[in-house]
Amino acid sequence: MAGPDVVTIADLTVAVAERTVETVSVGYTQITSEGSHSHTAGQVGADPAGTATAAVSAHTAASDPHPGYLTQTEADARYAALGASGAVFPLSGYGLTAASGDPLTFLAAAQVSSGQVILTRCWIPANTAVTNVWCAVREGGTYSTSAVPNRLGVYDDDGVQVAVTADDSTLWSANGWRGGALVGGAVSAQAAGRFVYLGAIWGGFSGVAIPFPSSASDSQVPWFSTGVGVSKRRAMYSTGQSGLPASFNPASFGIATTFFPLIGVS
């Protein structure tokens, strides 16, 4: 009986033999050179080079890559309203984007004098430009010629003047929201919310009454004016001024007070 085949490989010679007398030889071809070759991404079913990088770049550049989550702008817009009459009546109901306080709490009033400057700190939400400044007036007054201007201004949180409205001798002559556009154009929006100071000056007017916070009392100044680790005053005033200051020290200018105007921006 024949046994299993036997394969012998030695010195590049291949032979197949049975354990019988019959012998079977197998020929072969030796490969002595190699030709380099390559395959395209399409040939092997892969994405073209750079596809992943492009996808990541497009994702990170998208304005809202995760629509199921709040963006920074959307979150700021939602929570900003909680500080201005809450969701019950937001500042947008007055055509404002920010203000020195909640209009609902400014139901007291007092008169201001010629040469008086009042400055108050105000939070400006992220991505919000300041184009106009407005001050609430309860009773308009009578103007007499004066070298002291009548205008509103915007300062950065360090007290440096950024922009002002035009000097207007009719500014405080009627009640309502008084003010207008900033000279030279809007104060640019910033990516993050920030504090600014809003200021007003009255010149040559008598009989002007403006809203103040209800139940305001300067006996509350120690806690109201500054906070824990905060030295910048929320509100301050100075009399006998010839104009809005070019700059001021938020920690020491004038007199700290709880009586300040309702000033807003749009």
Q: What is the pLDDT of residues 93-114, one digit of tens each?
A: 999 999 999 999 999 999 999 9
Residue 196 has pLDDT above 80, yes or no: yes
Give the per-residue pLDDT at 50. 77
Q: How far is CA 20 from the centre of its chain?
A: 93
The backbone torsions φ and ψ at residue 120, rounded to the nearest 5 degrees and listed phi first, read: -140, 145
* pTM exceeding 0.85: no
Cα distance between residue 219 and residue 226, in whole Å: 13
pLDDT digits (tens, 9 = 90+) for 145-195: 999 999 999 999 999 999 999 999 999 999 999 999 999 999 999 999 999
pLDDT exceeds cutoff 50 at 117: yes
> Half-sphere exposure of residue 108, counting CA atoms within 13 Å on the CB side?
12
Please state the separation of Cα 214 from the chain's center in Å.
31
pLDDT of residue 32: 55
Please give the Cα distance from 85 to 108 (Å, whole number). Answer: 17
Could you tell me what percentage of the chain is helix, strand and coil, using 3-state DSSP and rounding each to the nearest 5? 15, 30, 55
Write out the two tokens for 155: 């300062």
Rounded Cα–Cα distance for residues 103 and 107 (Å): 8
